[in-house]
Every structure is written in C-alpha cells, then in structure tokens.
Amino acid sequence: MKAVILAAGEGTRMRPLTKDTPKPLIPVAGKPMIQHNIDKIEDKVEEIIIVAGYKIEQFEDKYCDNENIKIVEQSEALGTADAALQARDLIDEKALVLNGDDIYGNLEKLVEKDSAVLASKAEKPENYGVFKVEDGNVEGIVEKPDNPPSSLVNTGAYVVKEDFFDLLEKVEKSARGEYEITDALEDYLDSEEVELVKTDMWLPCSYPWQLIDANEELIEEEVGTGRINGKVSENAVIEKNVVVEKGAEIKQFTTVEGPAIIKSGAEVGSNGYIRPGTVLEENVKIGDSEIKNSVVRESSSIPHKSYIGDSYIGKKVNIGAGSQTANLRNDNSTVKMKVKGRLMDTGREKFGTVIGSEAKIGVNNSVKPGRKIGFGAVTDAGEKIAENLSNKAVMKDGEIIEDRN
C-alpha cells in the first residue's frame, strides 16, 4: 500500500505565515506538521507520495534524500480531487489518502483496513461533513447538515481501493469552483463496504491559532523525558523535561521550564525565561526576555526585555526591546482574529499574535491579542498595534505611512 498526502494548496487562511512557507511545512512541536504524519506511516507503507504545488521546491529540497518519498506536482490549484488524481498512475492497489495540513492519531489502525475512513467525534458536527454509520460501517456522508445523523465527522483521511481514483475523474466543479474529494467519497461509499475507524486525535491546522493548539497537544510527546546535548550554564535552571539540542546554549541565570524545545544554534539569556510549550527553532536569539507557549522560527531575535505569549513568530523576525504581546482580553472572553476579512472566534482565552517572517518590530511596541503582522512589516518605536498589518506595511505614529505590497 502507498500513501498519498495532499499538500498542494497555498494556505491563504494561514497568511502571513504561508508567504514564505507552504502550510504543511510550517513547524509545530519542533517539526513540520506533515512530518508528524509521515513519522507514523513511513514504516507501514511502501511509498509516500506528496502532491505539492505552492512552493513545491521546498518539499523537493526537504525530501530529496528520502527514497521512500516521491513528490508529484499539481500544477494548478483545482481542488483536492484533482490533487489526488495527480498520484493515480502511481497507485496499483489500495492507498492511504490524507490531508497534509491535518495531524492525525490512529493512522496505524486505519492502514490495517481494506477500505475505511478516519472519523473524529465533534462537539458541533454541523460544521463538518458528518458520517452516517450503521453497524460500524459508513453508509454515507452529509456536508454541514442542520440535523447531523451522528457526531462522527470526516477528518480527510481514508483507505481506498484503486477504483476510488476512477471516481475522482467524474467529480464536477463545486460552487466554489474546485473539484472536491468528498464528492468522490460520496460515490465510493455508495459502491463499497467502508469501515469507520475512530481517531483519538485530530488536529486540523487551517487557521493560525490552530498551530498553537497543535503545538500544545504534541510538544510533551515530542520532548519525552528530555535531553540536554547543548551547553547549559551551571547558573541556569532547567525544570521538567526540556530538549536542548547540540549547538544550542542556555546562558547564566536563565530558566527553562518544560516541556520546551531549544534547537541547534539557538541562544537564550542571560536572564531569559522560557516557559512551557515553547519551541525555539534553529539560530534563534533570546535575551533577557520571557517566551511562553510560543513557536519562534529560525534566525529570529527577541533580545531585550520583551514578552511573547501564546504566539507564532516567523523566520528572521526582530522584536525591539521592551515590546509586548498581549494574550488575554480584559473582558475574559475568547480572542478573535480577522482572517480574509472575517472576524473569527479562535476559541482560545489566551492567544497573542502571529508575526510573518522578516518583520521588524520597534522598541516598546504593544500588540493587542489576535493581531497579525505581515511578512516584512516594519513598525516604529512605541507603536500600539491594534489592527492587522499587511505584508511589508510600515507603521509610524499610529499610521500606516507606507504599504509596499
């Protein structure tokens, strides 16, 4: 059996983080989200086929030395059914098909089946495709129904026989102008006996705050009992399970509370404070700042007396001295974030900011909860960031004085 991972989309709802990184390669808990699934299935399938499109070269670079992974291209973003079709000529038996931007549990049970879907129990199934189930088999699927036939929803992971790929060719464009894989799944459920496998974990990563959700869920397992291979000052404090990779350095009077991951080339302190849930990617520089439950990507710097909480920071970001990210509303309601012009409830009581790569934040800035700062944006000293900033925007004296998009 082979696996087909659908990873071709641009990930517009994840902007600005997808400006420089395709969504499935955005890291959570210390590795790209797609890698969490690859690690679970690589020894259970003969080959993994990644269908990529947007920034495909990054997939090619990452997996060029892995003989068990093949990258194929969806040259035009025509939907998930069309993406899966790109792997058709490589499939000659049953196949595992799954999304590249979701992280799954129980894949090992799914791959044992001849024909099956992976389902998760949802509190609000009406927001998803819902399975009709009878005696452990799936009788159908209903998209976002007013009266759901069950609480078991479609996660986008299936084991299908070869003829499923024939059904993909018959799919017609949906109202949003794409070929949807769920249309083929409906026909497949009518023609095959399909088992239902319940998953104990399903982490969709469609929106920025879901990266923090997934990081919280996965980091403890990734850290395990911890390991210290880097340099740790005798005056530093390591509490609970922490990974400090070779080439990383924890300087004097710094405290690191696990679970946390400090990657190679990262430096923390002196007097830094790294709190649980934090991942510092390669070559990150943290000074006497506090980082809590956040991901800071490669080569970013937070050098002096700043606070970053429940946030996601892109690559090569510089945050000026004394800048703070607020992560809690004064009225104690959940934080909202505007995505593609729509204000959405994150469902999180604590959620800070999302900063795109190469942004430069001036000294003594404050960022309100749930705001996004675009790729390459620049802010002056003392700014209060109360609205999203677009890519390459320049903010001075509370005004956007230049927008270099």
* Residue 178, phi then psi, degrees to nearest 5: -125, 160
Shared-domain flag, residues 94 and 110: yes
Beta-bridged to residue 153, according to DSSP, are 120, 130
Contact criterion met (CB below 8 Å) for 385 and 340? no
Q: Which of 147, 171, 206 is the last residue of a domain?
A: 206
Q: List phi, psi (to 5°) of 377.
A: -70, 155
Residues 62 and 160 grouped into a single domain: yes
| pLDDT computed for residue 404 by the predictor | 59
**Shared-domain flag, residues 242 and 161:** no
Do 174 and 229 lie in one domain? The reply is no
Do 235 and 194 share a structural domain? Answer: no
Domains: count for the chain: 2
Q: What pTM does this model have?
A: 0.93
Residue range(s) defining the domain that contains residue 327: 209-403
pLDDT per residue, tens digit, the chain (405 aa), is 999 999 999 899 999 999 999 999 999 999 999 999 999 999 999 999 999 999 999 999 999 989 999 999 999 888 999 999 999 999 988 999 999 999 999 999 999 999 999 999 988 888 889 999 887 789 889 888 888 889 999 999 999 999 999 999 888 888 888 888 988 998 999 888 899 999 989 999 999 999 999 999 999 999 999 999 999 999 999 999 999 999 999 999 999 999 999 999 999 999 999 999 999 999 999 999 999 999 999 999 999 999 999 999 999 999 999 999 999 998 989 999 999 989 999 999 999 999 999 999 999 999 999 999 999 999 999 999 999 999 999 999 999 886 655
Q: Which of 304, 316, 368, 396 is catalytic?
A: 304
Q: What is the CATH number of the domain that holds 367?
A: 2.160.10.10
For residue 368, the 8-state DSSP code is -
Do 25 and 92 lie in one domain? The reply is: yes
- Same-domain pairing of 229 and 259: yes
Specify the 3-state DSSP secondary structure of 115: coil
| 43: number of Cβ within 10 Å | 8
36 a catalytic residue: no
Are 48 and 145 in a shared domain?
yes
Q: Are residues 222 and 141 in the same domain?
A: no
Are 52 and 14 within one domain?
yes
